[in-house]
């Protein structure tokens, strides 16, 4: 049984639609990440689940019960906002313990139990040495962790987290993702985790709901969504360097030619039938391409226009065909010069072919010969 | 030519030393990324370069001329800020033309310079649009165009991408980098984001507590960090720090830590001896060894291993996964390693691993300095010689 379900949720403010038919459910102990760019509607979904906003239509179920008419504080959800408010006159310890002292739950927790919980969660968030301080004495990142602790100290019906680790440094985010993931999956409570960061969503979530223009365009495990993104919008959101999206056309017979480039057609091997002839968009991850110094059946001429260093590799930005820029992952030591002519090799690379409107048509691996197509 | 030179620059606010004895040269056509956590002094440094803050001590040279006492507007430095600071009521053309208008540049020349920069920035199509109707990425391009139209000696970019969406950030980062390289711009990028600094900078300068800790190419800083602060700040997932001893018996010299042992290559032993870590009175010197996650790999059950632990948590990133290990029977964060994306790692599962002995970084536990940092021959040189 799902512990939290949103069914056919729509939300309009006057004439403006901010959510359209959003449906998904979250199982006990499951983390569902809501990913999308700013303005996609992520925070509105969270507020509707919490009861801070009312949906224009649709149903919210928590623990199997319709809570549409239940006020926010009666829903027993624990929420972390990106912009959090702490009680300035209370110590960090008192701030974190606050939800356990509320009249409705006070009787449930002994003082010793409150202390134990506060300390446990403060240790996980690495602020256990700050418990006697006041919020104003803390840095922004420390305050964000106090707010996080205050939500996690409770036993709510659902955790609703809006960019809970957004403003922390990379090292702390890495630590907290692991700790929170373990903590939350052990608690038999559903979690919605909102983030604009596709990479964070892959690392933290059991399933991801990708929100583009007010709608959920894809819902699935990180592996499903990374492996077969439903649209170009989804493909762009997930993955370290972002996917290269290139304009191309499909010729009769299924071969792909990049716009403005002269090369032998590339064929995509898969079982999903021939691609329709005409304009298309091709998506390929920077790590799937290879930089070559010689042409080949699947290697396309390009000009180096920029270089970036990465920690485990370098990235070469090339211009190919009709002024299309593409990133190619290269070995650390092999940075070419800007202006240099190179060839980018597509052989065996996994690619996605999208319609000009951005819907995925096919996913497969590239090869140079036509006989295997279809 | 050195476009910008900081020579023993200090910034004091009363008793507080915000910037301490920082020296950096930026060559013409180079992009220097200035990076560090908040409060490290990077913003004060960049304000002193721009002339927005007085320099307490030291010399600032622009095109080999001392400019300490030159007011901001005479330094020919342009700045791009996080919030663009565009004029919302003007269109794109007028925003870009503004710095020339206030300098009374004659109309034909103004038009030519603005049109040319708009074209290079791919803004020609929107030149009559109001800036508030543009996307965040386009607005940032307008603010860069406005900075460049003056043909500044140095372009300073202060967190230019930090309030853009993650996916847009990556694309715009490359766009700015391509532009900088194509035009041969000299620039200083201020950022707190280590991935951004590595990607965009020709060199990165890491600051901490007002001091310059290291200034080198991104790969040199990553592969040969000067100290534990730099090592931990640069790289994601972060470098593992493992405390232990260097023990030698019967010719083999090993790094030994709890549940982890690595035999050191002869070359490393020689370097450690030359650096005075080995071969002195101390029998088993204590060190902290830094190991990047990509230099630890999962070993097959029957293969020899450097150590064993159990899975604390695995994070999947599409093209790889980061596996955090605990010591067996404990729930601690011990080591993070990188593994292939297709394998499954369940919490608690035992894992044997091997550590690449060529890729260890040795830190002094008391000073936290890289004990081999001054050793001239680094692995980087060898990598760049190797070709496909």
Q: Can you give the pLDDT at residue B196?
A: 93
Residues of B in Cβ contact (< 8 Å) with A330: none
**B325: nearest CA partner in chain A:** A178
Q: Can you give the pLDDT at residue A88?
A: 92
pLDDT band for position B246 (50/70/90)?
Answer: very high
Share of chain B above pLDDT 90, in %: 69
pLDDT band for position A141 (50/70/90)?
Answer: confident
Q: Burial letters for B262-301: b for 16+ Cβ neighbours within 10 Å, e otherwise?
A: bebeeebbebbeebebbeeeeeebebbbbbbbbbbbbbee
Taking the CA of residue B296 and the nearest CA in chain A, the distance in Å comes to 13
Q: What is the pLDDT of residues A156-181, one digit of tens each?
A: 999 999 999 987 888 888 888 988 99
**Average pLDDT taken over every residue of chain B:** 90
pLDDT band for position A1 (50/70/90)?
Answer: low
What interface predicted TM-score (ipTM) does this complex get? Answer: 0.86
Q: Can you give the pLDDT at residue B88?
A: 87
- pLDDT of residue A373 exceeding 60, the answer is no
> For B46-73, what is the mean pLDDT?
94
Q: Can you give the pLDDT at residue B249?
A: 67
The three-state (H, E, C) secondary structure of chain B, written as one string: CEEEEEEEEEEEECCEEEEEEEEEEEECCCEEEEECCCCCCHHHHHHHHHCCCCCCEEEEEECCEECCCCCHHHCCEEEECCCCCCCCCCEHHHHHHHHHHCCCCCHHHHHHHHHHHHHHCCCHHHCCCEHHHCCHHHHHHHHHHHHHCCCCCEEEEECCCCCCCHHHHHHHHHHHHHHHHHHCCCEEEEECCHHHHHHHCCEEEEEECCEEEEEECHHHHHHCCCEHHHHHHCCCCCCEEEEEEEEEECCEEEEEECCEEEECCHHHHHHHHHCCCCCCCCCCCEEEEEECHHHEEECCCCCCCCEEEEEEEEEECCCCEEEEEECCCCCCCCEEEEECCCCCCCCCCEEEEEECHHHCEEECCCCCEECCCCCCCCHHHHHHHCCC
- The strand pairing partners of B257, in sequence order, are B260
Q: Can you give the pLDDT at residue B169?
A: 82
Query: Residue A285 and residue B167: Cβ atoms within 8 Å?
Result: no
Query: Residue B192 and residue A169: Cβ atoms within 8 Å?
Result: yes
- pLDDT of residue B381 exceeding 80, the answer is no
- Please state, in angstroms and rounded to a whole number, the distance separating the CA atoms of residues B331 and B321: 20
- pLDDT of residue A374 exceeding 50, the answer is no
C-alpha distances out from residue B252 to B248, B265, B282, Å = 6, 9, 17
Q: What is the pLDDT of residues A213-246, one digit of tens each?
A: 899 999 999 999 999 999 999 998 887 788 999 9
The three-state (H, E, C) secondary structure of A68-114, written as one string: CCCCHHHCCEEEECCCCCCCCCCCHHHHHHHHHHCCCCHHHCCHHHH
Q: Which run of H or E residues covers position A318?
A: strand A314-320
- Please state, in angstroms and rounded to a whole number, the distance separating the CA atoms of residues A210 and A220: 9
Q: Which run of H or E residues covers position A11?
A: strand A4-13
- pLDDT of residue B137 exceeding 90, the answer is no
> For A60-75, what is the mean pLDDT?
86
Q: What is the pLDDT of residues B156-215, one digit of tens each?
A: 999 988 877 777 788 888 988 998 998 899 999 999 899 999 999 999 999 999 999 999
List, as ranges, residues 311-340 from A with C-beta within 8 Å of B.
Answer: 311-312, 314-315, 317, 325, 327, 331-334, 338
Q: What is the pLDDT of residues A253-304, one digit of tens each?
A: 888 999 999 999 999 887 555 788 999 999 999 999 999 999 999 999 999 9
Query: Residue A309 and residue B219: Cβ atoms within 8 Å?
Result: yes
Q: Can you give the pLDDT at residue B376?
A: 40
- Please state, in angstroms and rounded to a whole number, the distance separating the CA atoms of residues A183 and A52: 26
Q: What is the pLDDT of residues A84-125, one digit of tens each?
A: 789 999 999 999 999 999 888 888 999 999 999 999 999 999
Q: Can you give the pLDDT at residue B250?
A: 62
Both tokens assigned to B156: 């300073």
Q: Is A101 left (phi over 0), alpha (psi -120 to 50) or beta?
A: alpha
**Average pLDDT taken over every residue of chain A:** 90
* A349 Cα distance to chain centroid: 24
How far from each other are the two terminal CA atoms of chain B, in whole angstroms? 34
Q: Can you give the pLDDT at residue B380?
A: 37
Q: Can you give the pLDDT at residue B365?
A: 95
Q: Can you give the pLDDT at residue A75?
A: 85
Q: Can you give the pLDDT at residue B382?
A: 38
Taking the CA of residue A181 and the nearest CA in chain B, the distance in Å comes to 8
> For A304-309, what is the mean pLDDT?
94
Query: Residue A226 and residue B318: Cβ atoms within 8 Å?
Result: yes
Asked if A197 has any chain B CB less than 8 Å from its own CB, the reply is yes
Both tokens assigned to A217: 């365009």
**B321: nearest CA partner in chain A:** A203
Q: What is the pLDDT of residues B99-110, one digit of tens each?
A: 999 889 999 999
Report which of residues B187 and B82 the model is more confident about: B187
Q: The dihedral of CA A225, A228, A234, A237: what is its sign?
A: positive
Q: What is the pLDDT of residues A18-54, one digit of tens each?
A: 999 999 999 999 999 999 987 788 999 999 999 999 9
Lowest mean pLDDT among A126-130, B79-83, B236-240: B79-83
The DSSP line for A198-227 is HHHHHHH-SEEEEEETTEEEEEE-HHHHHH
Q: What is the pLDDT of residues B253-299, one digit of tens each?
A: 999 999 999 999 999 999 999 998 888 777 889 999 999 999 999 99
Share of chain A above pLDDT 70, in %: 97
Lowest mean pLDDT among A319-323, B201-205, B309-313, B365-369: A319-323
Question: Of the candidates B219, B317, B324, which has its C-beta nearest A178's C-beta?
Answer: B324
Q: Determine contact, residues B322/B279, Cβ cutoff 8 Å.
A: no
Q: Can you give the pLDDT at residue A272?
A: 52
Question: Of the candidates B167, B315, B347, which has its C-beta nearest A177's C-beta?
Answer: B315
- pLDDT of residue B46 exceeding 90, the answer is yes
Q: The dihedral of CA A142, B159, B95, B120: what is its sign?
A: negative
Interface contacts A/B by beta carbons within 8 Å: 125
Q: The dihedral of CA A253, A255, A261, A262: what is its sign?
A: negative
Q: Indicate the SS3 state at residue A246.
A: strand
Report which of residues B128 and A74 the model is more confident about: B128
């Amino acid at each position: 049984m799902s512990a939290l379900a949103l069914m056919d949720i729509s939300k309009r403010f006057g004439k403006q639609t901010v959510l359209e038919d959003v449906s998904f459910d979250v199982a006990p102990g499951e983390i569902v990440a809501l990913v999308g760019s700013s303005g996609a509607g992520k925070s509105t979904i969270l507020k509707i689940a919490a009861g801070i906003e009312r949906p224009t239509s649709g149903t919210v179920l928590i623990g199997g019960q319709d809570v549409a008419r239940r006020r926010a504080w009666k829903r027993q959800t624990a929420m972390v906002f990106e912009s959090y408010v702490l009680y300035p006159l209370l110590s960090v310890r008192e701030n974190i313990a606050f939800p356990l002292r509320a009249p409705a739950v006070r009787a449930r927790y002994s003082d010793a139990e409150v202390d134990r919980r506060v300390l446990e969660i403060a240790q996980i968030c690495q602020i256990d040495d700050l418990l006697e301080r006041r919020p104003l004495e803390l840095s922004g990142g420390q305050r964000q962790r106090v707010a996080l602790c205050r939500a996690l100290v409770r036993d709510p019906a659902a955790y609703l987290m809006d960019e809970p680790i957004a403003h922390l440094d990379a090292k702390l985010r890495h630590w907290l993702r692991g700790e929170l993931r373990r903590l939350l999956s052990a608690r038999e409570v559903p979690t919605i985790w909102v983030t604009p960061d596709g990479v964070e969503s892959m690392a933290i979530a059991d399933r991801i709901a990708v929100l583009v223009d007010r709608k959920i365009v894809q819902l699935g495990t990180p592996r499903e969504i990374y492996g077969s993104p439903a649209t170009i919008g989804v493909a762009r959101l997930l993955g370290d360097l972002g996917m290269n999206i290139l304009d191309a056309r499909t010729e009769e017979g299924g071969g792909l030619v990049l716009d403005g480039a002269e090369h032998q057609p590339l064929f995509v091997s898969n079982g999903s039938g021939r691609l329709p002839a005409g304009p298309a968009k091709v998506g390929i991850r920077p790590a799937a391409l290879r930089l070559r110094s010689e042409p080949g059946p699947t290697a396309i001429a390009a000009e180096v226009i920029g270089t970036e260093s990465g920690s485990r590799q370098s990235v070469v930005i090339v211009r190919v065909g009709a002024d299309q820029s593409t990133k190619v992952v290269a070995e650390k030591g092999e940075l070419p010069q800007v202006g240099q002519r190179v060839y980018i090799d597509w052989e065996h690379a996994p690619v996605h072919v999208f319609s000009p409107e951005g819907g995925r048509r096919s996913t497969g691996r590239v090869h140079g010969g036509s006989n295997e197509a279809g | 030519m050195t476009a910008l030179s900081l020579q023993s620059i200090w910034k004091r606010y009363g008793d507080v030393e915000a910037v301490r004895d920082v020296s950096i040269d930026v060559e013409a056509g180079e992009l220097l990324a200035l990076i560090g956590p908040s409060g490290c002094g990077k913003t004060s440094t960049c304000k002193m370069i721009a002339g927005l803050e007085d320099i307490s001590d030291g010399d600032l040279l622009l095109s080999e001329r001392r400019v300490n006492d030159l007011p901001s507007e005479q330094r020919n430095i342009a700045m791009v800020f996080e919030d663009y600071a565009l004029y919302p009521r003007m269109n794109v053309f007028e925003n870009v033309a503004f710095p020339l208008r206030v300098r009374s540049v004659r109309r034909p020349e103004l038009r030519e310079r603005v049109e040319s920069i708009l074209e290079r920035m791919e803004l020609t199509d929107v030149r009559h649009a109001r800036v508030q109707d543009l996307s965040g990425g386009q607005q940032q391009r307008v603010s860069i165009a406005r900075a460049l139209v003056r043909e500044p000696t140095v372009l300073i970019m202060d967190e230019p991408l930090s309030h853009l969406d993650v996916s847009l950030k990556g694309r715009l980062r490359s766009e700015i980098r391509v532009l900088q390289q194509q035009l041969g711009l000299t620039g200083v990028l201020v950022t707190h984001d280590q991935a951004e600094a590595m990607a965009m900078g020709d060199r990165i300068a890491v600051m901490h507590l007002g001091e310059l800790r290291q200034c080198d190419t991104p790969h040199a800083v990553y592969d040969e960090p000067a100290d534990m602060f730099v090592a931990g700040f640069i790289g994601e997932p972060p470098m593992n720090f493992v405390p232990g001893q260097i023990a030698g018996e019967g010719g083999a010299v090993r790094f030994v830590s709890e549940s982890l042992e690595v035999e050191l290559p002869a070359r490393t032993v020689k370097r450690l001896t030359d650096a005075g870590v080995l071969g002195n009175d101390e029998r088993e010197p204590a060190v902290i060894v830094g190991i990047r996650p990509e230099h630890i790999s999962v070993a097959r059950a029957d293969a020899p291993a450097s150590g064993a632990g159990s899975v604390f948590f695995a994070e999947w990133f599409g093209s790889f996964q980061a596996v955090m290990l605990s010591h067996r029977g404990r729930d601690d964060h011990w080591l993070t390693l990188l593994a292939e994306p297709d394998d499954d790692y369940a919490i608690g599962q035992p894992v044997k691993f091997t550590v690449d002995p060529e890729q260890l970084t040795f830190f002094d536990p008391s000073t936290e300095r890289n004990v081999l940092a001054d050793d001239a021959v680094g692995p980087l040189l060898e990598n760049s010689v190797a070709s496909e």
